[in-house]
Structure 1
Amino acid sequence: MRTDVLIVGAGFAGSVCARVLAEAGRQVLIIDKRDHIGGNAYDKVDEHGVLIHPYGPHIFHTNAKRIIEWLSRFTDWRFYEHRVLASVDGQLLPIPINRTTINRLYGLDLDEEGVAAWLERVREPRDPIRTSEDVVLNSVGRDLCDKFFRGYTRKQWGLDLAELSASVAARIPTRTNDDDRYFTDTYQFMPADGYTAMFRRMLDHPNITVQLNIDYFAIRDSVQANHTVFTGPIDAFFDYCYGKLPYRSLRFEHQHLPDTEQYQAVGTVNYPNDHDYTRITEFKHLTGQQHSGTSIVREYPQAEGEPYYPVPRPENEALFKRYEALAEQRRDVTFVGRLAQYRYYNMDQVVGATLKASITTQENIRKK
Structure 2
Amino acid sequence: MHDWIVVGAGFAGAVMAERIASQRGETVLVVDKRDHIAGNAHDRRNADGVLFHQYGPHIFHTNSSMISDYLSQFTEWRPYEHRVLASVDGQLVPIPINRTTINKLYGLDLDEAGVEAFLAARAEPVETIRTSEDVVVGKVGRELYEKFFRGYTQKQWGLDPSELDRSVTARVPTRTNDDDRYFTDSFQQMPRDGYTAMFERMLANPLITVQLGVDALAMPAADRPRRMVFTGPIDAYYGHVYGALPYRSLQFHHVTLDEAWTQQVGTINFPQDQDYTRVTEVKHLTGQNHPCTTLTYEYPSAEGDPYYPIPRPENEALFKRYEALARAEENTWFVGRLATYRYYNMDQVVGQALATFQRLDAAVPRTGRQAA
Q: Do both proteins adopt the same fold according to a TM-score greater than 0.5, normalized to the shorter chain?
A: yes
| Equivalent residue runs for 1:173-322 within 5 Å | 173-258=173-258, 260-322=259-321
- The residue that corresponds to 2:161 in the other structure is 161
Q: Structure 2: which amino acid aligns with 1:323? A: Y
SS in 2 for 1:73: coil
| Equivalent residue runs for 1:41-52 within 5 Å | 41-52=41-52
Q: Structure 1: which amino acid aligns with 2:345? A: N
RMSD between aligned residues: 1.0
**Hey, what's the Cα distance between the residues in 1 that align with 2:220 and 2:162?**
41
| Equivalent residue runs for 1:127-146 within 5 Å | 127-146=127-146
Q: Structure 2: which amino acid aligns with 1:307? A: P
SS in 2 for 1:280: strand
Tell whether the 8 Å contact from 1:82 to 1:181 is kept in structure 2 after alignment.
yes
- The residue that corresponds to 2:40 in the other structure is 40
SS in 2 for 1:138: helix
Tell whether the 8 Å contact from 1:226 to 1:365 is kept in structure 2 after alignment.
no
Structure 1 residue 127: deviation in Å?
1.9
SS in 1 for 2:324: helix
- The residue that corresponds to 2:322 in the other structure is 323
SS in 2 for 1:217: helix
Q: Structure 2: which amino acid aligns with 1:69? A: D
Tell whether the 8 Å contact from 1:11 to 1:37 is kept in structure 2 after alignment.
yes
**Hey, what's the Cα distance between the residues in 2 that align with 1:119 and 1:200?**
47
Deviation string, structure 1 residues 86-124 (Cα, Å, up to 9, x no partner): 000000000000000011111111000000011110001
- The residue that corresponds to 1:351 in the other structure is 350
**Hey, what's the Cα distance between the residues in 2 that align with 1:239 and 1:367?**
30
SS in 1 for 2:2: strand
**Hey, what's the Cα distance between the residues in 1 that align with 2:133 and 2:76?**
40
SS in 1 for 2:268: strand
- The residue that corresponds to 1:106 in the other structure is 106
Structure 1 residue 220: deviation in Å?
4.6
Structure 1 residue 178: deviation in Å?
0.4
Cα–Cα, structure 1 residues 268 and 220, in superposed 2: closer, same or farther, change >3 Å?
Answer: farther
- The residue that corresponds to 2:86 in the other structure is 86
Tell whether the 8 Å contact from 1:99 to 1:111 is kept in structure 2 after alignment.
yes
**Hey, what's the Cα distance between the residues in 1 that align with 2:127 and 2:340?**
29
**Hey, what's the Cα distance between the residues in 1 that align with 2:220 and 2:101?**
53
Tell whether the 8 Å contact from 1:331 to 1:364 is kept in structure 2 after alignment.
no
Q: Structure 1: which amino acid aligns with 2:33? A: K
**Hey, what's the Cα distance between the residues in 2 that align with 1:31 and 1:224?**
11
Structure 1 residue runs of 5 or longer lacking an equivalent are none
Q: How many residues align?
A: 366
**Hey, what's the Cα distance between the residues in 2 that align with 1:300 and 1:197?**
27
Structure 1 residue 367: deviation in Å?
8.5
Deviation string, structure 1 residues 1-40 (Cα, Å, up to 9, x no partner): x211100000000000000000111110000011110000
Q: Structure 2: which amino acid aligns with 1:65? A: S
Structure 2 residue runs of 5 or longer lacking an equivalent are 368-372
- Output the TM-score relative to the length of structure 1: 0.98
SS in 1 for 2:229: strand
Structure 1 residue 142: deviation in Å?
0.4
- The residue that corresponds to 2:370 in the other structure is none
Between the two proteins, what is the percent identity of the paired residues?
63
Deviation string, structure 1 residues 330-358 (Cα, Å, up to 9, x no partner): 02100000000000000000000000111
